[in-house]
Structure 1
Amino acid sequence: MTVLDLRETPVPDVLDHCTAALRVDLDRAHPAFGWGGKSVGFGTDRGTWVKIQFRPVSRINERIWAGEECASVLTGVSKPQLLGSVRWADSSRDLVWRADETTRVKAPTVSSTPELRTEPQGLSDGWWETLRGSLTALAGATTTRVAVRQDLIDRRISEYAGPAVDPRVDEWVPAHADVHWANLTAPRMVLLDWEGWGLGPRGLDAATLLAFSLLVPTVATRVSDLFTEDLSCRSGALARLFMCAELLRMTSHHGDHPDLAGPLTREADRLVITLSAPT
Protein backbone atom coordinates (compact mmCIF):
# COMPACT_ATOMS: atom_id res chain seq x y z
CA MET A 1 0.00 0.00 0.00
CA THR A 2 1.41 3.37 -1.05
CA VAL A 3 1.95 5.81 1.81
CA LEU A 4 2.53 9.42 0.84
CA ASP A 5 3.39 12.47 2.91
CA LEU A 6 2.58 15.37 0.63
CA ARG A 7 4.77 17.64 2.75
CA GLU A 8 7.78 15.66 1.62
CA THR A 9 6.81 14.18 -1.74
CA PRO A 10 6.03 16.59 -4.62
CA VAL A 11 3.21 15.45 -6.90
CA PRO A 12 3.29 17.92 -9.83
CA ASP A 13 1.35 15.50 -12.06
CA VAL A 14 -1.50 15.49 -9.53
CA LEU A 15 -1.58 19.28 -9.39
CA ASP A 16 -1.53 19.48 -13.19
CA HIS A 17 -4.44 17.04 -13.42
CA CYS A 18 -6.43 19.01 -10.86
CA THR A 19 -5.72 22.31 -12.62
CA ALA A 20 -6.89 20.96 -15.96
CA ALA A 21 -9.96 19.17 -14.61
CA LEU A 22 -11.25 22.08 -12.52
CA ARG A 23 -10.00 24.74 -14.98
CA VAL A 24 -8.39 26.69 -12.19
CA ASP A 25 -4.89 27.92 -11.35
CA LEU A 26 -3.52 26.93 -7.95
CA ASP A 27 -1.33 29.15 -5.78
CA ARG A 28 1.36 26.48 -5.63
CA ALA A 29 3.76 28.70 -3.68
CA HIS A 30 1.52 28.60 -0.60
CA PRO A 31 0.31 25.05 0.12
CA ALA A 32 -1.58 24.23 3.32
CA PHE A 33 -1.05 20.64 4.41
CA GLY A 34 -3.51 18.51 6.33
CA TRP A 35 -2.78 16.09 9.16
CA GLY A 36 0.21 13.88 8.41
CA GLY A 37 0.57 15.30 4.91
CA LYS A 38 -2.42 13.27 3.71
CA SER A 39 -4.03 16.28 2.03
CA VAL A 40 -3.02 19.66 0.68
CA GLY A 41 -4.99 22.82 -0.02
CA PHE A 42 -4.39 25.81 -2.27
CA GLY A 43 -5.95 29.16 -2.96
CA THR A 44 -6.94 29.71 -6.56
CA ASP A 45 -6.94 32.49 -9.12
CA ARG A 46 -10.72 32.88 -8.75
CA GLY A 47 -10.67 33.33 -4.98
CA THR A 48 -11.78 29.80 -4.12
CA TRP A 49 -10.08 26.95 -2.26
CA VAL A 50 -9.07 23.54 -3.59
CA LYS A 51 -8.34 20.63 -1.28
CA ILE A 52 -6.59 17.59 -2.75
CA GLN A 53 -6.43 14.25 -0.97
CA PHE A 54 -5.85 10.59 -1.70
CA ARG A 55 -6.75 7.13 -0.49
CA PRO A 56 -5.25 3.74 -1.33
CA VAL A 57 -7.54 1.87 -3.71
CA SER A 58 -8.22 -0.73 -1.03
CA ARG A 59 -9.47 1.90 1.43
CA ILE A 60 -12.05 3.75 -0.64
CA ASN A 61 -15.38 3.79 1.17
CA GLU A 62 -18.55 5.85 1.14
CA ARG A 63 -18.16 7.15 4.69
CA ILE A 64 -15.02 9.12 3.91
CA TRP A 65 -14.96 9.49 0.15
CA ALA A 66 -18.43 10.95 -0.45
CA GLY A 67 -18.70 13.13 2.65
CA GLU A 68 -18.22 16.51 1.01
CA GLU A 69 -20.86 15.87 -1.67
CA CYS A 70 -23.38 14.58 0.86
CA ALA A 71 -22.76 17.57 3.13
CA SER A 72 -23.34 20.02 0.28
CA VAL A 73 -27.13 19.75 0.72
CA LEU A 74 -27.13 20.59 4.43
CA THR A 75 -28.90 23.81 5.42
CA GLY A 76 -28.51 26.04 8.46
CA VAL A 77 -24.87 25.03 8.92
CA SER A 78 -21.96 27.46 8.64
CA LYS A 79 -19.63 25.59 6.30
CA PRO A 80 -17.80 26.15 3.01
CA GLN A 81 -19.93 25.75 -0.11
CA LEU A 82 -18.89 22.96 -2.47
CA LEU A 83 -18.45 24.30 -6.00
CA GLY A 84 -17.03 21.32 -7.86
CA SER A 85 -15.23 18.01 -7.46
CA VAL A 86 -13.07 15.68 -9.48
CA ARG A 87 -11.63 12.25 -8.70
CA TRP A 88 -9.38 9.95 -10.66
CA ALA A 89 -7.48 6.69 -10.41
CA ASP A 90 -3.69 6.71 -10.19
CA SER A 91 -2.56 3.23 -11.20
CA SER A 92 1.13 4.08 -10.89
CA ARG A 93 0.74 4.73 -7.15
CA ASP A 94 -2.26 2.44 -6.55
CA LEU A 95 -4.19 5.44 -5.26
CA VAL A 96 -7.40 7.31 -5.94
CA TRP A 97 -7.22 11.11 -5.81
CA ARG A 98 -9.94 13.66 -5.36
CA ALA A 99 -10.00 17.44 -5.44
CA ASP A 100 -12.81 19.59 -4.06
CA GLU A 101 -13.22 23.25 -4.89
CA THR A 102 -15.11 25.25 -2.27
CA THR A 103 -15.71 28.83 -1.31
CA ARG A 104 -12.65 30.14 0.48
CA VAL A 105 -12.83 30.81 4.20
CA LYS A 106 -10.47 33.68 4.90
CA ALA A 107 -10.83 33.55 8.67
CA PRO A 108 -8.04 31.48 10.27
CA THR A 109 -8.67 28.37 12.34
CA VAL A 110 -8.93 28.93 16.08
CA SER A 111 -5.92 26.67 16.67
CA SER A 112 -3.24 25.04 14.52
CA THR A 113 -3.79 21.83 16.51
CA PRO A 114 -7.00 19.98 17.41
CA GLU A 115 -6.47 20.63 21.12
CA LEU A 116 -6.71 24.11 22.56
CA ARG A 117 -3.74 25.23 24.67
CA THR A 118 -4.42 28.89 25.39
CA GLU A 119 -7.48 31.11 25.73
CA PRO A 120 -8.64 31.79 22.15
CA GLN A 121 -9.28 35.24 20.75
CA GLY A 122 -12.28 36.30 18.70
CA LEU A 123 -14.87 33.92 20.15
CA SER A 124 -17.75 36.31 20.69
CA ASP A 125 -21.18 35.38 22.01
CA GLY A 126 -22.28 35.42 18.37
CA TRP A 127 -19.54 32.93 17.49
CA TRP A 128 -20.77 30.49 20.11
CA GLU A 129 -24.38 30.92 19.03
CA THR A 130 -23.45 30.23 15.40
CA LEU A 131 -21.66 27.08 16.50
CA ARG A 132 -24.63 25.88 18.54
CA GLY A 133 -27.07 26.77 15.76
CA SER A 134 -24.99 24.92 13.17
CA LEU A 135 -24.72 21.75 15.25
CA THR A 136 -28.43 21.92 16.11
CA ALA A 137 -29.33 22.22 12.42
CA LEU A 138 -27.00 19.35 11.58
CA ALA A 139 -28.51 17.13 14.27
CA GLY A 140 -31.93 17.76 12.74
CA ALA A 141 -30.87 16.69 9.23
CA THR A 142 -31.64 13.33 7.64
CA THR A 143 -28.91 10.96 6.49
CA THR A 144 -28.12 7.29 6.10
CA ARG A 145 -24.40 7.94 6.55
CA VAL A 146 -22.80 6.56 9.70
CA ALA A 147 -19.90 8.38 11.36
CA VAL A 148 -19.44 6.27 14.50
CA ARG A 149 -20.76 2.71 14.77
CA GLN A 150 -22.12 1.08 17.90
CA ASP A 151 -19.54 -1.72 17.67
CA LEU A 152 -16.68 0.81 17.83
CA ILE A 153 -18.26 2.46 20.88
CA ASP A 154 -18.63 -0.99 22.45
CA ARG A 155 -14.94 -1.77 21.95
CA ARG A 156 -13.54 1.52 23.18
CA ILE A 157 -15.73 1.72 26.29
CA SER A 158 -15.15 -1.93 27.20
CA GLU A 159 -11.39 -1.47 26.73
CA TYR A 160 -11.47 1.35 29.28
CA ALA A 161 -14.26 0.42 31.68
CA GLY A 162 -14.66 -3.33 31.25
CA PRO A 163 -18.20 -4.56 32.00
CA ALA A 164 -18.94 -1.72 34.43
CA VAL A 165 -20.63 0.46 31.77
CA ASP A 166 -23.40 -0.58 29.37
CA PRO A 167 -22.26 1.09 26.12
CA ARG A 168 -25.53 0.82 24.21
CA VAL A 169 -26.53 4.20 22.72
CA ASP A 170 -30.25 5.00 22.60
CA GLU A 171 -30.15 8.29 20.66
CA TRP A 172 -28.49 8.69 17.25
CA VAL A 173 -28.32 11.97 15.32
CA PRO A 174 -26.26 13.35 12.41
CA ALA A 175 -22.89 14.68 13.58
CA HIS A 176 -19.83 16.26 12.02
CA ALA A 177 -17.76 13.77 14.05
CA ASP A 178 -14.55 15.84 13.99
CA VAL A 179 -15.38 19.11 15.75
CA HIS A 180 -12.05 20.29 17.12
CA TRP A 181 -10.25 23.61 17.23
CA ALA A 182 -8.30 23.16 13.98
CA ASN A 183 -11.61 22.67 12.15
CA LEU A 184 -13.25 25.85 13.48
CA THR A 185 -12.48 29.37 12.25
CA ALA A 186 -12.77 32.75 13.97
CA PRO A 187 -13.84 35.52 14.21
CA ARG A 188 -16.34 34.11 11.69
CA MET A 189 -17.41 30.65 12.80
CA VAL A 190 -17.12 28.16 9.95
CA LEU A 191 -16.90 24.40 10.43
CA LEU A 192 -14.41 22.78 8.05
CA ASP A 193 -13.68 19.23 6.79
CA TRP A 194 -16.87 17.29 6.23
CA GLU A 195 -15.39 14.04 4.93
CA GLY A 196 -16.54 11.82 7.80
CA TRP A 197 -19.89 13.23 8.96
CA GLY A 198 -22.88 10.97 9.60
CA LEU A 199 -24.90 9.40 12.40
CA GLY A 200 -23.35 9.27 15.85
CA PRO A 201 -24.52 9.24 19.44
CA ARG A 202 -26.34 12.38 20.52
CA GLY A 203 -23.76 14.74 22.01
CA LEU A 204 -20.82 13.41 19.97
CA ASP A 205 -19.80 16.78 18.51
CA ALA A 206 -20.05 18.58 21.85
CA ALA A 207 -18.16 15.72 23.52
CA THR A 208 -15.39 15.94 20.92
CA LEU A 209 -14.99 19.70 21.33
CA LEU A 210 -15.07 19.35 25.11
CA ALA A 211 -12.32 16.72 25.08
CA PHE A 212 -10.09 18.98 22.99
CA SER A 213 -10.79 21.91 25.37
CA LEU A 214 -9.73 20.29 28.64
CA LEU A 215 -6.37 22.11 28.79
CA VAL A 216 -8.23 25.45 28.99
CA PRO A 217 -10.81 25.06 31.79
CA THR A 218 -12.69 28.28 31.02
CA VAL A 219 -13.36 27.13 27.47
CA ALA A 220 -14.23 23.60 28.61
CA THR A 221 -16.79 25.13 30.97
CA ARG A 222 -18.21 27.25 28.14
CA VAL A 223 -18.62 24.17 25.95
CA SER A 224 -20.25 22.24 28.80
CA ASP A 225 -22.69 25.04 29.53
CA LEU A 226 -23.56 25.64 25.87
CA PHE A 227 -24.33 21.98 25.16
CA THR A 228 -25.48 20.90 28.61
CA GLU A 229 -28.61 19.10 27.39
CA ASP A 230 -26.72 16.98 24.88
CA LEU A 231 -23.81 16.27 27.21
CA SER A 232 -25.85 15.44 30.32
CA CYS A 233 -28.18 12.84 28.78
CA ARG A 234 -27.08 9.20 28.83
CA SER A 235 -26.14 9.23 25.14
CA GLY A 236 -24.07 12.36 25.71
CA ALA A 237 -22.27 10.81 28.68
CA LEU A 238 -21.47 7.72 26.59
CA ALA A 239 -20.22 9.98 23.79
CA ARG A 240 -17.96 11.76 26.28
CA LEU A 241 -16.56 8.50 27.62
CA PHE A 242 -16.09 7.16 24.10
CA MET A 243 -14.15 10.27 23.05
CA CYS A 244 -11.96 10.13 26.16
CA ALA A 245 -11.19 6.46 25.52
CA GLU A 246 -10.58 7.06 21.81
CA LEU A 247 -8.17 9.94 22.40
CA LEU A 248 -6.37 8.11 25.19
CA ARG A 249 -5.87 5.21 22.79
CA MET A 250 -4.41 7.62 20.22
CA THR A 251 -2.11 8.99 22.92
CA SER A 252 -0.83 5.57 24.00
CA HIS A 253 -0.58 4.00 20.54
CA HIS A 254 0.55 6.94 18.41
CA GLY A 255 1.79 9.61 20.81
CA ASP A 256 -0.93 12.06 19.76
CA HIS A 257 -2.09 14.79 22.17
CA PRO A 258 0.13 13.68 25.10
CA ASP A 259 -0.76 16.73 27.22
CA LEU A 260 -4.39 15.63 27.24
CA ALA A 261 -3.71 12.24 28.83
CA GLY A 262 -4.13 13.41 32.43
CA PRO A 263 -7.31 15.47 31.94
CA LEU A 264 -8.84 12.79 29.71
CA THR A 265 -8.18 10.08 32.30
CA ARG A 266 -9.74 12.13 35.09
CA GLU A 267 -12.77 12.88 32.94
CA ALA A 268 -13.15 9.25 31.86
CA ASP A 269 -12.91 7.98 35.43
CA ARG A 270 -15.66 10.37 36.56
CA LEU A 271 -17.86 9.24 33.67
CA VAL A 272 -17.35 5.56 34.49
CA ILE A 273 -18.57 6.18 38.03
CA THR A 274 -21.59 8.12 36.74
CA LEU A 275 -22.53 5.63 34.03
CA SER A 276 -22.06 2.57 36.19
CA ALA A 277 -24.27 3.85 39.00
CA PRO A 278 -27.67 2.15 39.42
CA THR A 279 -30.53 4.06 37.81
Structure 2
Amino acid sequence: MYSEPEPDTARRMRGMHATAATVLHVTPIGSREAWGWRGRTLSRPVAAASGEGWLRLVSAPVDKAGGKLWEGPQEAEQLMPPAVPRPRLRERRTWTEGEHGYLAELYDKITASTITTHEPILRKAPDLDDAWWDGLSTALDGIAAVPSSRVAVRQEYLDRAMPQYLGIPIDTKAPAWTTAHGDLHWANLTGPTLTVLDWEGWGAAPAGYDAALLHAYSLLVPDTADEIRRRLGHILDTPAGRFAELVVITELLQTVTRGDNLELEGVLRAQLVRLAER
Protein backbone atom coordinates (compact mmCIF):
# COMPACT_ATOMS: atom_id res chain seq x y z
CA MET A 1 0.00 0.00 0.00
CA TYR A 2 1.22 3.49 -0.87
CA SER A 3 0.49 7.10 0.02
CA GLU A 4 -2.46 9.03 -1.38
CA PRO A 5 -1.69 10.29 -4.91
CA GLU A 6 -1.89 13.86 -6.19
CA PRO A 7 -5.32 15.49 -5.75
CA ASP A 8 -6.69 15.14 -9.29
CA THR A 9 -5.91 11.41 -9.38
CA ALA A 10 -7.32 10.90 -5.88
CA ARG A 11 -10.52 12.73 -6.79
CA ARG A 12 -11.00 10.74 -10.00
CA MET A 13 -10.31 7.39 -8.32
CA ARG A 14 -12.66 8.09 -5.41
CA GLY A 15 -15.42 8.98 -7.84
CA MET A 16 -14.88 5.82 -9.89
CA HIS A 17 -14.69 3.70 -6.74
CA ALA A 18 -18.11 5.03 -5.78
CA THR A 19 -19.34 4.09 -9.27
CA ALA A 20 -17.93 0.59 -8.85
CA ALA A 21 -19.67 0.23 -5.48
CA THR A 22 -22.98 1.13 -7.09
CA VAL A 23 -22.49 -1.29 -10.00
CA LEU A 24 -21.59 -4.16 -7.66
CA HIS A 25 -24.33 -3.31 -5.12
CA VAL A 26 -22.00 -2.78 -2.18
CA THR A 27 -21.58 0.01 0.38
CA PRO A 28 -18.18 1.29 1.57
CA ILE A 29 -17.59 0.88 5.31
CA GLY A 30 -15.73 3.49 7.32
CA SER A 31 -13.04 5.79 5.98
CA ARG A 32 -10.18 3.35 5.39
CA GLU A 33 -8.49 3.63 1.99
CA ALA A 34 -5.66 1.53 0.56
CA TRP A 35 -3.84 3.17 -2.34
CA GLY A 36 -1.65 1.51 -4.92
CA TRP A 37 1.45 2.91 -6.59
CA ARG A 38 0.80 6.48 -7.81
CA GLY A 39 -2.93 6.00 -7.32
CA ARG A 40 -3.21 3.20 -9.85
CA THR A 41 -5.46 1.28 -7.47
CA LEU A 42 -7.84 2.21 -4.66
CA SER A 43 -9.36 -0.35 -2.30
CA ARG A 44 -11.86 -0.07 0.55
CA PRO A 45 -13.80 -2.41 2.84
CA VAL A 46 -17.44 -2.75 1.85
CA ALA A 47 -20.71 -4.32 2.99
CA ALA A 48 -22.47 -6.64 0.54
CA ALA A 49 -25.40 -9.03 0.57
CA SER A 50 -22.86 -11.87 0.47
CA GLY A 51 -21.09 -10.52 3.55
CA GLU A 52 -18.35 -7.96 4.16
CA GLY A 53 -15.84 -7.70 1.37
CA TRP A 54 -13.02 -5.67 -0.12
CA LEU A 55 -13.61 -3.61 -3.26
CA ARG A 56 -10.50 -2.95 -5.34
CA LEU A 57 -10.50 -0.53 -8.26
CA VAL A 58 -7.75 -0.60 -10.89
CA SER A 59 -7.19 2.21 -13.38
CA ALA A 60 -5.08 2.48 -16.52
CA PRO A 61 -4.98 4.59 -19.67
CA VAL A 62 -7.48 3.24 -22.18
CA ASP A 63 -4.78 1.83 -24.48
CA LYS A 64 -3.28 -0.14 -21.57
CA ALA A 65 -6.48 -1.28 -19.89
CA GLY A 66 -6.64 -5.05 -20.11
CA GLY A 67 -4.18 -7.86 -20.74
CA LYS A 68 -2.09 -9.90 -18.34
CA LEU A 69 -2.27 -7.62 -15.31
CA TRP A 70 -6.04 -7.27 -15.46
CA GLU A 71 -6.66 -10.96 -16.00
CA GLY A 72 -4.23 -12.16 -13.32
CA PRO A 73 -6.57 -12.20 -10.30
CA GLN A 74 -9.32 -13.95 -12.23
CA GLU A 75 -6.92 -16.60 -13.53
CA ALA A 76 -5.44 -17.08 -10.05
CA GLU A 77 -8.95 -17.67 -8.73
CA GLN A 78 -9.40 -20.40 -11.31
CA LEU A 79 -5.98 -22.07 -11.11
CA MET A 80 -4.33 -21.61 -7.71
CA PRO A 81 -4.65 -24.60 -5.33
CA PRO A 82 -6.20 -24.35 -1.82
CA ALA A 83 -2.70 -24.57 -0.31
CA VAL A 84 -2.13 -21.00 -1.51
CA PRO A 85 -4.06 -18.72 0.89
CA ARG A 86 -5.44 -15.73 -0.98
CA PRO A 87 -8.53 -13.49 -1.03
CA ARG A 88 -11.35 -15.17 -2.98
CA LEU A 89 -12.63 -13.16 -5.92
CA ARG A 90 -16.44 -12.88 -5.94
CA GLU A 91 -17.20 -10.56 -8.87
CA ARG A 92 -15.50 -8.25 -11.35
CA ARG A 93 -16.55 -5.53 -13.79
CA THR A 94 -14.66 -3.54 -16.43
CA TRP A 95 -15.55 -0.27 -18.18
CA THR A 96 -14.03 2.81 -19.75
CA GLU A 97 -14.72 6.47 -19.08
CA GLY A 98 -12.83 9.30 -20.71
CA GLU A 99 -9.14 8.55 -21.03
CA HIS A 100 -9.10 5.66 -18.53
CA GLY A 101 -10.20 2.08 -18.29
CA TYR A 102 -11.32 0.61 -14.97
CA LEU A 103 -11.47 -2.82 -13.37
CA ALA A 104 -13.50 -3.35 -10.19
CA GLU A 105 -12.94 -6.54 -8.19
CA LEU A 106 -14.96 -7.61 -5.16
CA TYR A 107 -13.06 -9.94 -2.83
CA ASP A 108 -13.81 -11.71 0.41
CA LYS A 109 -12.68 -9.57 3.33
CA ILE A 110 -9.31 -10.44 4.84
CA THR A 111 -9.14 -9.56 8.53
CA ALA A 112 -5.37 -9.94 8.99
CA SER A 113 -3.20 -6.88 8.34
CA THR A 114 -0.41 -6.61 5.82
CA ILE A 115 3.00 -6.87 7.41
CA THR A 116 4.06 -3.51 5.99
CA THR A 117 1.49 -0.87 5.18
CA HIS A 118 2.92 1.67 2.75
CA GLU A 119 5.85 0.02 0.98
CA PRO A 120 7.35 -3.35 0.04
CA ILE A 121 10.54 -2.82 2.07
CA LEU A 122 10.78 -4.36 5.53
CA ARG A 123 12.15 -2.03 8.21
CA LYS A 124 11.55 -3.97 11.42
CA ALA A 125 11.39 -7.68 12.13
CA PRO A 126 7.84 -9.09 12.02
CA ASP A 127 6.62 -11.42 14.77
CA LEU A 128 5.76 -14.54 12.76
CA ASP A 129 5.41 -18.06 14.13
CA ASP A 130 6.42 -21.42 12.71
CA ALA A 131 2.96 -21.97 11.23
CA TRP A 132 3.26 -18.76 9.21
CA TRP A 133 6.65 -19.70 7.80
CA ASP A 134 5.55 -23.26 7.08
CA GLY A 135 2.48 -21.88 5.32
CA LEU A 136 4.60 -19.58 3.19
CA SER A 137 6.89 -22.43 2.16
CA THR A 138 3.89 -24.59 1.27
CA ALA A 139 2.31 -21.72 -0.67
CA LEU A 140 5.47 -21.10 -2.71
CA ASP A 141 5.71 -24.78 -3.56
CA GLY A 142 2.04 -24.75 -4.56
CA ILE A 143 2.42 -21.69 -6.78
CA ALA A 144 5.51 -23.10 -8.46
CA ALA A 145 3.63 -26.24 -9.47
CA VAL A 146 0.75 -24.45 -11.25
CA PRO A 147 0.96 -24.80 -15.05
CA SER A 148 0.28 -21.57 -16.90
CA SER A 149 1.12 -19.73 -20.10
CA ARG A 150 1.43 -16.47 -18.17
CA VAL A 151 4.87 -14.84 -17.95
CA ALA A 152 6.19 -12.75 -15.05
CA VAL A 153 9.85 -12.43 -16.14
CA ARG A 154 11.13 -12.80 -19.69
CA GLN A 155 14.45 -14.29 -20.78
CA GLU A 156 14.86 -11.38 -23.19
CA TYR A 157 14.83 -9.00 -20.24
CA LEU A 158 17.49 -11.03 -18.44
CA ASP A 159 19.73 -11.02 -21.51
CA ARG A 160 19.53 -7.25 -21.77
CA ALA A 161 19.34 -6.08 -18.16
CA MET A 162 21.57 -8.41 -16.13
CA PRO A 163 24.88 -7.39 -17.76
CA GLN A 164 23.82 -3.73 -17.67
CA TYR A 165 22.83 -3.47 -14.00
CA LEU A 166 24.99 -6.14 -12.38
CA GLY A 167 28.21 -5.04 -14.07
CA ILE A 168 29.76 -8.51 -13.93
CA PRO A 169 30.26 -11.24 -16.53
CA ILE A 170 27.29 -13.58 -16.24
CA ASP A 171 25.46 -16.34 -18.05
CA THR A 172 21.98 -14.88 -18.33
CA LYS A 173 20.22 -18.14 -19.16
CA ALA A 174 17.96 -19.14 -16.27
CA PRO A 175 18.76 -22.66 -14.99
CA ALA A 176 15.07 -23.44 -14.46
CA TRP A 177 11.67 -21.79 -14.68
CA THR A 178 8.62 -22.22 -12.47
CA THR A 179 5.42 -20.32 -11.83
CA ALA A 180 5.84 -17.38 -9.45
CA HIS A 181 3.58 -14.90 -7.70
CA GLY A 182 5.85 -12.25 -9.19
CA ASP A 183 5.46 -9.54 -6.54
CA LEU A 184 6.06 -11.28 -3.24
CA HIS A 185 6.92 -8.53 -0.79
CA TRP A 186 5.83 -7.60 2.72
CA ALA A 187 2.96 -5.33 1.70
CA ASN A 188 1.45 -8.30 -0.15
CA LEU A 189 1.63 -10.68 2.82
CA THR A 190 -0.55 -10.64 5.92
CA GLY A 191 0.12 -11.74 9.47
CA PRO A 192 -0.24 -13.31 11.93
CA THR A 193 -2.45 -15.35 9.56
CA LEU A 194 -0.85 -15.76 6.15
CA THR A 195 -2.64 -14.47 3.06
CA VAL A 196 -0.92 -13.75 -0.24
CA LEU A 197 -2.34 -10.63 -1.90
CA ASP A 198 -2.13 -8.97 -5.35
CA TRP A 199 -2.31 -11.57 -8.11
CA GLU A 200 -1.93 -9.26 -11.09
CA GLY A 201 1.49 -10.25 -12.35
CA TRP A 202 1.91 -13.95 -11.61
CA GLY A 203 3.45 -16.25 -14.18
CA ALA A 204 6.66 -17.96 -15.25
CA ALA A 205 9.89 -16.69 -13.69
CA PRO A 206 13.33 -18.10 -12.89
CA ALA A 207 12.92 -20.80 -10.22
CA GLY A 208 13.22 -19.26 -6.75
CA TYR A 209 12.16 -15.80 -7.84
CA ASP A 210 9.52 -15.26 -5.14
CA ALA A 211 11.80 -16.27 -2.29
CA ALA A 212 14.62 -14.15 -3.73
CA LEU A 213 12.39 -11.09 -3.99
CA LEU A 214 11.15 -11.39 -0.42
CA HIS A 215 14.74 -11.83 0.76
CA ALA A 216 15.91 -8.73 -1.12
CA TYR A 217 13.15 -6.60 0.39
CA SER A 218 14.28 -7.83 3.84
CA LEU A 219 17.96 -6.92 3.59
CA LEU A 220 17.60 -3.84 5.81
CA VAL A 221 16.56 -6.22 8.62
CA PRO A 222 19.37 -8.80 8.72
CA ASP A 223 17.67 -11.05 11.28
CA THR A 224 14.65 -11.47 9.02
CA ALA A 225 16.79 -11.89 5.91
CA ASP A 226 18.65 -14.67 7.76
CA GLU A 227 15.32 -16.20 8.81
CA ILE A 228 14.20 -16.31 5.18
CA ARG A 229 17.41 -18.06 4.19
CA ARG A 230 16.88 -20.57 6.98
CA ARG A 231 13.21 -21.20 6.21
CA LEU A 232 13.50 -21.15 2.42
CA GLY A 233 17.01 -22.48 2.01
CA HIS A 234 15.71 -25.41 -0.03
CA ILE A 235 14.78 -22.77 -2.64
CA LEU A 236 17.49 -20.14 -2.27
CA ASP A 237 20.57 -22.24 -1.55
CA THR A 238 20.63 -23.89 -4.97
CA PRO A 239 22.14 -22.79 -8.29
CA ALA A 240 18.67 -21.80 -9.49
CA GLY A 241 17.99 -19.88 -6.28
CA ARG A 242 21.25 -17.97 -6.48
CA PHE A 243 20.47 -17.06 -10.09
CA ALA A 244 17.03 -15.85 -9.00
CA GLU A 245 18.69 -13.58 -6.45
CA LEU A 246 20.78 -12.04 -9.22
CA VAL A 247 17.62 -11.50 -11.27
CA VAL A 248 15.95 -9.70 -8.39
CA ILE A 249 19.04 -7.59 -7.69
CA THR A 250 19.04 -6.62 -11.38
CA GLU A 251 15.41 -5.50 -11.23
CA LEU A 252 15.80 -3.54 -8.00
CA LEU A 253 19.03 -1.83 -9.09
CA GLN A 254 17.17 -0.77 -12.21
CA THR A 255 14.49 0.81 -10.01
CA VAL A 256 17.25 2.66 -8.15
CA THR A 257 18.25 4.37 -11.41
CA ARG A 258 14.66 5.65 -11.59
CA GLY A 259 14.78 7.07 -8.08
CA ASP A 260 13.00 4.22 -6.26
CA ASN A 261 14.28 1.91 -3.49
CA LEU A 262 17.33 4.11 -3.01
CA GLU A 263 17.95 2.85 0.52
CA LEU A 264 18.33 -0.69 -0.80
CA GLU A 265 21.18 0.05 -3.18
CA GLY A 266 23.98 -0.50 -0.67
CA VAL A 267 22.68 -3.80 0.71
CA LEU A 268 21.83 -5.05 -2.79
CA ARG A 269 25.36 -4.38 -4.00
CA ALA A 270 26.78 -6.08 -0.92
CA GLN A 271 24.59 -9.12 -1.61
CA LEU A 272 25.74 -9.08 -5.23
CA VAL A 273 29.37 -9.27 -4.08
CA ARG A 274 28.57 -12.24 -1.82
CA LEU A 275 26.80 -14.08 -4.62
CA ALA A 276 29.57 -13.34 -7.13
CA GLU A 277 32.15 -14.80 -4.74
CA ARG A 278 30.35 -18.15 -4.50
When normalised by structure 2's length, the TM-score is 0.90
Q: Secondary structure at the match of 2:186?
A: coil
Task: Tell me the equivalent position of 2:88.
Answer: 81
Preserved contact between residue 114 and residue 182 of structure 1 (Cα < 8 Å)? yes
Which runs of structure 2 are paired with 1:1-279 in the superposition (5 Å)?
A: 5=5, 8=8, 9-11=10-12, 13-27=15-29, 29-46=31-48, 47-73=52-78, 74-75=80-81, 76-90=83-97, 92=98, 94-112=99-117, 113-121=119-127, 123-162=128-167, 164-254=169-259, 256-274=260-278
Percent of aligned positions with the same letter in both sequences? 32
Consecutive unaligned residues of structure 2, counting only runs of 5 or more, are: none
Q: Secondary structure at the match of 2:190?
A: coil
Alignment partners' CA distance in 1, 2:126 and 2:32:
25
Consecutive unaligned residues of structure 1, counting only runs of 5 or more, are: 275-279
For residues 7 and 219 of structure 1, do their structure 2 counterparts lie closer, same or farther at Cα, with a shift above 3 Å needed?
A: farther
Alignment partners' CA distance in 2, 1:151 and 1:160:
15
Alignment partners' CA distance in 1, 2:257 and 2:239:
27
Alignment partners' CA distance in 2, 1:32 and 1:207:
26
CA deviations over 1:225-273 (Å, ceiling 9, x no partner): 222122122222121011112112212322x222211110011122234
Moved over 6 A (4+): none
When normalised by structure 1's length, the TM-score is 0.90
Q: Secondary structure at the match of 1:98?
A: strand
Preserved contact between residue 6 and residue 38 of structure 1 (Cα < 8 Å)? no
Q: Secondary structure at the match of 1:14?
A: helix
My pick for the range that moved more, 112-121 or 198-207, is 112-121
Task: Tell me the equivalent position of 1:277.
Answer: none
Preserved contact between residue 165 and residue 272 of structure 1 (Cα < 8 Å)? no
